[in-house]
Amino acid sequence: MVKKSKVNFFSFSQPNLPRQKEQPDRIHPPVTDRGTVPNLKWSFTDSHNRVLPAGWARQTTIRELPASPEIAGVNMMLIPGGVREMHWHKEGEWAFMLRGSARITVVDQNLKTFQDDVGVGEGWYFPAGIPHSIQGLDEGCEFLLVFDNGEFDENETFQLTDWLSRTPKEILAKNFNVPISAFDNLPKEERYIFEAPLPPPLKKDEIRGLGPVSEPLSHRMIKMKPMKMKYGSVRIMDSTNFPASKTIASALVEVEPGGMRELHWHPNADEWQYYLSGQARMTVFASAGSAQTFDYQAGDVGAVPRNMPHYVENTGKTTLRFLEMFRAPRFEDVPLAQWLAFTPPELVREHLHIDEKILKKVPPKRVPIVG
Ligand code: MN
Ligand code: MN
């Protein structure tokens, strides 16, 4: 007879209760969930935070979230006066200010210039390869950066101080036609994020370089007139109303309690989401009988591979706010409701065995937020 073990194996199981509470639909999925779906959730809380005296930065890239090859995100904070140093990178950069405000500066390949101060709900688009800087103003700032390539790495941007510290001093002297001693105090390595005095007030009409860029590089997304519905609102911004943003399309979605971003998919790009406030759940159908549900809250990132249909439901008691981001010049989606309503009813009935009256109620124009 086998002696009964004194070890209670269940005592080794220490569930991560705070984490379980965050994702009830992972613990007890809807019965409709099934099969294999890639991981479609990452929280910036799980990313390495690069902390410096004048700010911090953390990223969610294809390394953290392999289901997002098209978009990477960075969450950055700068103290008042804190500078994200002059730099450029291979990717286009779109931004959304989460708190505070910042001064941005740009010089482009035509030697045209751009400077602006950007507040909460506003942001910018910097084309790939164009040098820029960001500096925290009075209260400092925190913002979200969205790059048009999942492979982006915030630690591999081309930085002014890094470059010049890797260039022979006699070359610098020759370039500017000055003695080598002019570069005696050059930083010996990259500064990345550093403390500096607050900049002087912005002079809007000051001409620098060969004049201002032809298309403004900042946006005022929060000030756009939203498409309003009973259960929420949507602001869509892409190259049609923010011409500089040629590679990034976005939507700022607000869903009231009881509301839901309707069933739909995106034919032209993967979706990358950033949750600003509230709580949500999303089920993504991955074809071949597979679907899985994920829960999100503020600070989380969601991903939806292109063409996979989904909904986003407000599961909390407060307003749900999130950004839908796409590597595309235009925002595009296909809603389930109008797809069915605009197909011959006999055909739809043969598929779904539903009463024609259901589809008669579908409005001719899309209603992105339902309830
Ligand atoms: Mn940048
Ligand atoms: Mn979507």
- Residues 6 or more apart whose CB falls under 8 angstroms from that of 74 comprise 57, 58, 59, 60, 144, 145, 147, 154
Distance 89 CA to ligand 1 centre (A): 6
Length of the chain: 371
**pLDDT of the chain along its 371 residues, tens only?**
556 656 665 566 678 899 999 999 999 999 999 999 999 999 999 999 999 999 999 999 999 999 999 999 999 999 999 999 999 999 999 999 999 999 999 999 999 999 999 999 999 999 999 999 999 999 999 999 999 999 999 999 999 999 999 999 999 999 999 999 999 999 999 999 999 999 999 998 888 999 999 999 999 999 999 999 999 999 999 999 999 999 999 999 999 999 999 999 999 999 999 999 999 999 999 999 999 999 999 999 999 999 999 999 999 999 999 999 999 999 999 999 999 999 999 999 999 999 889 999 999 999 999 99
Return the CA Rg of the chain: 24
Distance 339 CA to ligand 2 centre (A): 16
Q: Which of 139, 262, 324, 346 is catalytic?
A: 324
Q: In whole angstroms, how far apart are CA 106 and each of 40, 85, 196?
A: 34, 12, 18
Q: State yes or no: is 324 an active-site residue.
A: yes
What pLDDT sits at residue 2?
56
Distance 187 CA to ligand 1 centre (A): 20
Query: What pTM did the predictor assign?
Result: 0.95
What pLDDT sits at residue 101?
98
Longest CA–CA span in the chain (Å) reads 92
